[in-house]
Amino acid sequence: MEAAACGRPLPEQIRSQTCSSRRGDHAANSPIRDKRLIMEPSKEFMFKYKGFYFGVNTSVEHVASLENFEIKDSDIFIATYPKSGTVWTQNILSLILHEGHRNGTENMDIMDRIPWLEYNIKNKDYTSLPVPRVFATHLPYYLLPRDLRNKRGRIIYVTRNPKDVLVSYYHFSKYMNIVEEDPDFNSCMERFLAGKVIASCWFDHVAGWYGHAEDFNILFLTYEDMKKDLRSAVLKICNFLGKKLSEEEIESVVRQATFENMKKDPRANYENLPDDIADKSKGRFLRKGTVGDWKNMMTVAQSERFDEVLNEKIKTLPIKITWDINSEM
């Protein structure tokens, strides 16, 4: 694993199963020969820092500074691999924590209420944010602020099945001007499987967080479980944060946090992104929010190729992956 090369190896049971290990074997056994599929990411869109790919709307200097970012005990972090329900969880957290969001008396974009730790695109002074500060992040476990690894603050980590993540990332790349767009879905899939996308390898990210859970004060959720029972997820989050809401308030959170209602809420749906970042003629930030949409996109051969690369590795994870709403692995 590229992270392991930085002196941060994963636990033994998953260390040898990363995207970077045996990558040559995958390429050799694959019927796909087009060199475009394994091209290095363009420096116009991404850079690598300590084995991890970032979008260019941040900098090496800012990312490096996060190691010493001062954490308050009241801080809350939403950590995910991209396209795993981050914006949804941001909205849920905002509704839980802020009465003004629940009752509609405050009109604040979710990105202002819960900014991105590594992508400070509005140049906010994070030290002056109101308590509790809430941040979103795609960082791997080993690039987090040091104090978080000492169990200060709280982290909510959300996982989503990687086939749906891939499909969502593909559509996302067409919509976002700051994300490198592949010529076709197959190219995107090969790059995703090789970990040559923003946030690098899905498996490395998930395995790293689960493998180092004991280092953090952390709650693990899955996108699919949230879809199946949103109310239970809201209650878990409230319990984890020590936030007491009335039954009426809980129902308000659940009602407003459904994907359908969130898409209609301009505070929550990222529709206010600048035109230089998002091409709104090509889609919306929030698309379907479903489970199993990969079946509408991937051919049988592509699904088998995906399974060939990741299935054995996924079996080493301490979670079950839900591929559609009616079947679990």
Which residues are tagged catalytic? 138
Running DSSP on this structure, what letter comes out for residue 130?
P
Question: In angstroms, what CA-CA distances link 304 with 73, 163, 192, 309?
Answer: 45, 11, 15, 9
Runs of H (alpha helix) within the chain: 12-15, 23-29, 60-65, 86-97, 99-102, 110-113, 162-175, 185-193, 202-211, 223-228, 230-241, 247-256, 259-264, 300-314
Spell out the residues 6+ positions from residue 196 whose beta carbon is closer than 8 angstroms to its own.
Answer: 38, 39, 40, 41, 53
Q: What are the helix (H) ranges across 194-276?
A: 202-211, 223-228, 230-241, 247-256, 259-264
